[in-house]
Amino acid sequence: MIDWNNNTPYFSGMRKIAMIIIAGLFWGCPGSDPEPDQVVPLGDYTFIYLQNDNKLAFSIDTEPNFEGNPLSSVRVYWYGVDTTQIPDTIRLYDDGTNGDIIGTDDIWMRKISNSVSSELSHPVSSSDSGKVFITYYAQYNTLMKTVTDSFHLGNLKPYILNISVPDTIVRPSGNGFNLVQLNCKVSDANGLDDIKWVGFRSYHTVLDSFFNNGNYIYMYDDGGTIILYEPNIKSGDVTANDGIYSFQAPLSSASTAGIYDWIFEAQDFQFEYSDTITHRIVVQ
């Protein structure tokens, strides 16, 4: 078993690789076994998408020699979700670097950042769904051996696309209050109905304390039809179920002035969290 997040691997008998697949990762099963009379020097292969690290991880078990030819290199042709596009060529390693755990063990591996680079032009995006497609290439002198497979796209965490929040708000005088409109646009490759909640926490930077005991203030994609609190205050959301979550924050003369960090986050029904977005706001 290989734990990509741990430098101390454990290998089971016959050197078969097993991956610990955590929620929110791409995963796939090895291809079908070759015919009995077919000699293939390529063994188990895996691919996972490490969402929290935003990295792609590849691994394949190989034979060091094939028909008298030594193995010189292993590469991946990465198509992403579209097999019609020109694939990226990603080199794998067996020297203990670039994500390889143990050098010269005939298990070629690679971790690569899931962002556009000289090697990767088709990163996994927040809108991708379905399958990703990969071909492993092993070079034995002039002989090339390949194995191709697809990997099902598992649950992807939600993404906050943008927020609409003022930079400065002024407290009203007297006994009244103002409503500050907040909007947060969120996407989820598994569908908008996979979004469980969207909210934010309010942190006073000078007082080093959270409003609402650090609990989330939830936002709503309800079309502004539900009364959230008196007197007749709604979310301010315009269109229901469009991925834009809204909230009207009340501001009175009694509100504490200062500099706040409003920390926005979303969660889906598979308990995956989005990356947070922090917006600094001044209350005068």
- The reported pLDDT for the residue numbered 127 is 86
- The reported pLDDT for the residue numbered 101 is 96
- The reported pLDDT for the residue numbered 117 is 96
Q: Please state whether the predicted TM-score (pTM) of the whole model is above 0.85.
A: no
Does CATH number 3.20.20.140 belong to domain 159-283? Answer: no
| Cβ contact 158:266 at 8 Å | yes
Is there a shared CATH topology between the 13-152 domain and the 159-283 domain?
Answer: yes
The torsion region of residue 144 among left (phi > 0), alpha (psi -120 to 50) and beta comes to beta
Mean pLDDT, each 10-residue run in order, the chain (284 residues): 38 33 36 50 93 93 96 98 97 97 97 96 91 97 95 89 97 91 95 96 97 96 94 95 97 95 97 96 97
C-alpha–C-alpha distance, residues 100 and 84, integer Å = 30
Does CATH number 2.60.40.10 belong to domain 13-152? Answer: yes
The domain segmentation of the chain, as residue ranges, is 13-152, 159-283
At residue 229, the 3 state secondary structure works out as strand
- Could you tell me which residues come within 8 angstroms of residue 102 by beta carbon, excluding any fewer than 6 positions away? 9, 96
- The reported pLDDT for the residue numbered 38 is 54
- The reported pLDDT for the residue numbered 86 is 97
List of long-range contacts for 116-124, beta carbons under 8 Å, 24+ apart: 119/88, 119/89, 119/90, 119/91, 120/56, 120/78, 120/88, 120/90, 121/88, 122/78, 122/79, 122/80, 122/82, 122/85, 122/87, 122/88, 123/56, 123/80, 124/26, 124/49, 124/56, 124/80
Q: What is the DSSP letter of 183?
A: E
- The reported pLDDT for the residue numbered 84 is 97
Both structure tokens of 131: 């399958």
| Cβ contact 50:4 at 8 Å | yes
Q: What Cα–Cα distance (Å) separates residue 116 from each residue in 55, 59, 119? A: 12, 21, 8
